[in-house]
Amino acid sequence: MSTVLVVDAANVVGSRPDGWWRDRAGAARRLHEQLLTGDTPHDEIVLVLEGGAKGGVRAGRDQHVRTVHAPKDGDSEIERQTRAAIEAGHRVTVITADNFLRARVQGMGAMAMSPSWLLDHL
């Protein structure tokens, strides 16, 4: 069974006080680059971008990282991506600091981990 990591980019970027709020697109681009080279134990990574962050990385696949631009809010897209991966038979882990989102994806059968877990692997 393959594994999918769904990343709440806003939460991961927002977990580091490095000035990301001045350049959301640049912060998204840096996270994308880290995901391409990082050491995560997952077959596929789904990076969910919303708002101004969407300008930093085009939607689509780069190696094992697939970038998705949320049409509305990021949480709804993260739930949609999680549900689709689970229905396709994948084991799914979601990276988010949002407790409500964590509870919803865990209710679907996904694991949920914190942004610090991901950053430790990058």
Q: At residue 108, does pLDDT exceed 90?
A: yes
Q: What span, in angstroms and rounded, lies between the C-alpha atoms of 9 and 33?
A: 12
Neighbours of 26 (CB within 10 A): 16
CA atoms within 13 A on the CB side of 93: 15
Amino acid sitting at position 20: W
Query: What confidence tier does 121 reach under pLDDT thresholds 50, 70, 90?
Result: confident
Q: pTM of the full predicted structure?
A: 0.94
Q: Are strands 60-62 and 44-49 parallel, antiparallel or unpaired?
A: unpaired
Amino acid sitting at position 100: F
Q: Helix crossing, 99-108 with 74-87: angle to 10°?
A: 20
**What are 53-89's pLDDT values in tens digits?**
999 999 999 999 999 999 989 999 999 999 999 999 9
pLDDT at 43: 94
| Tokens matching residue 37 | 């080279």
Q: Which domains does the chain possess? A: 3-121 (3.40.50.1010)
Residues 6+ apart with CB under 8 A from 14: 20, 97, 115
Amino acid sitting at position 114: S
**What are 13-61's pLDDT values in tens digits?**
888 877 776 889 999 999 999 999 988 889 999 999 999 999 999 999 9
